[in-house]
Structure 1
């Protein structure tokens, strides 16, 4: 992989990134939510990036932000724009969720709203020098973007892909392997639910990572210890040096 990072969701404090870097991680994906919202931690992130010379990507918030809801579309775009403007100073990538479906009977309508939301911000991201990445979600009648067919609709707008292999493992993982992601998200499960287990604790076939050696890998774990555990599994399998 070009580099391997850990999601800030695994860190109770951003200063734990020093421990993660010392362990071997070379990057961080900021989940811009709560007390780790980019507006709050921006100066700290710039300092971390400079001090440790690490790579940083940013994941836009998704709790309370739904691009697939007509009533939330304007709020979603305002939030994304604010995050994108700050992200452009520290990151090349901004990861976005496709959104949630309020009523599965109107799934196609929600998909069209989400595509319109994504389309509305694409040029702004381009002007900021940011690659907008759509992330595939776990299989659920309430989630958009858990199937390759829906993800391809977002890619057709000019977005790139953050391929979450844990999420893909809840559908039919092999159907995602022909896609060309710019980033990989890593966590494990038993193929039915989005459990975010350490790597090796579920059914995710880790050997497929060899197909994605040229893009960043982000370990998404519930805490730093489990992130390190997943890191060790990748070493044991010879997937990282």
Structure 2
């Protein structure tokens, strides 16, 4: 297991980012949508702020204005595929181990669900081939809530049996809102699971609270993760404004949990 911290809360403030990186030697996840998904950035310049970090790197590809699954607009699907292909190439260029991708635009209802799933699978398979050629894990995240979710729990697990060249990223907070049996999903995915996003919520809103500050029952999740027999990435994905000392303390506690060690 490798532990990562998502840098999204720190990207607007270089001093906060440096404070974190001065104390953190583990992995970092960089968002390509820019500070808190509020504005675009020039990717190479943004990475330059963090390239001094010696630990492993993961990338979260853009989410806004992109949709690999839209059944109505081929031009959007084609455009989205080309953007994500460029993102994979950039991820490989900076030495990222993994690129996280959303299979659809999570805030778009699935009007034509079957057709949307087929377009998503077609594009994910092509991007998976590209990722393999570049030596980057393409990590597909479970996104969307209720009617906005493209895949059910069972369909999400099956996705990685149908497409062997992609990997699964289970976002624990998203799974909780949708009522998934997260420990079961982790176990069923097995070696297809390459990463988890760790954050908490009240079961209603995607709050990205620190672990233990919401309604998620974490012990069965830790047990499921400890049962895995292969390497994976555990990524803290906390809300903007979370204090650096909270993030670092949680990272230490979670590392111990996932190693089966008693809390310090």
TM range (shorter): 0.7 to 0.9
Q: Which residue of 1 aligns with 2:171?
A: 164
Alpha-carbon offset, residue 21 of structure 1? 2.7
Change (3 A) 1:44 1:103: closer
Residues 1:56 and 2:57 are matched in the alignment: yes
Measured after TM superposition, the shift of residue 205 of structure 1 is: 2.4
Equivalents in 2 of 1:218, 1:190: separation in Å? 20
Name the SS of the counterpart of 2:104 in structure 1.
coil
Q: Is the 8 A contact 2:207 2:239 kept in 1?
A: no
Matching residue of 1:152: 158
**Alignment counterpart, residue 203 of structure 1, candidates 208, 212, 215:** 215
- Determine the structure 1 residue equivalent to 2:240: 223
Output the CA distance in 2 between the equivalents of 1:14 and 1:147: 38
Counterpart CA distance in 1 for 2:215 and 2:160 is 28
1:151–1:17 CA distance, 2 compared to 1 (3 A): farther
C-alpha distance in 1 between matches for 2:14 and 2:124: 29
Q: How far, CA to CA, are the matches of 1:76 and 1:227 in structure 2?
A: 34
Q: Deviation string for 1:176-225 (max 9, x for gaps)? A: 13123211111101223322112111122222225435422111112253
User: 1:175: which partner in 2?
Assistant: 184
CA contact (8 A) 1:100 1:144 kept: no
**Whole-angstrom distance in 2 between the partners of 1:130 and 1:79:** 16
SS at match of 1:201: coil
1:13 maps to 13
Moved more, 5-14 or 81-90: 5-14
Residue of structure 2 equivalent to 1:108: 114
Residues paired across the two proteins, number: 239
Alpha carbons 1:5, 1:26 under 8 Å: kept: yes
**CA contact 1:135–1:145 (8 Å) conserved in 2:** no
Any stretches of 5+ residues in structure 1 without a counterpart?
none
**Separation (CA, whole Å) in 1 of partners of 2:251 and 2:132:** 34
Give the match for residue 28 of structure 2. 28
Deviation at 1:94, TM superposition (A): 0.9
User: What TM-score does the superposition give when structure 2 sets the normalisation length?
Assistant: 0.78
With over 3 angstroms needed to count, the CA separation of the structure-2 counterparts of 1:145 and 1:20, relative to structure 1, is farther
Asked if 1 retains the 8 angstrom alpha-carbon contact of 2:99 and 2:136, the reply is yes
Structure-1 residue corresponding to 2:261: none
Q: Distance in 1 between matches of 2:25 and 2:239?
A: 16
Query: Which whole-Å CA distance do the structure 1 matches of 2:133 and 2:110 have between them?
Result: 35
| Contact 2:34/2:41 (8 A) holds in 1 | no
Aligned-partner SS, 2:42? helix
Per the alignment, residue 143 of structure 1 pairs with 149
Contact 1:136–1:167 under 8 Å retained in 2: yes
| Matching residue of 1:186 | 198
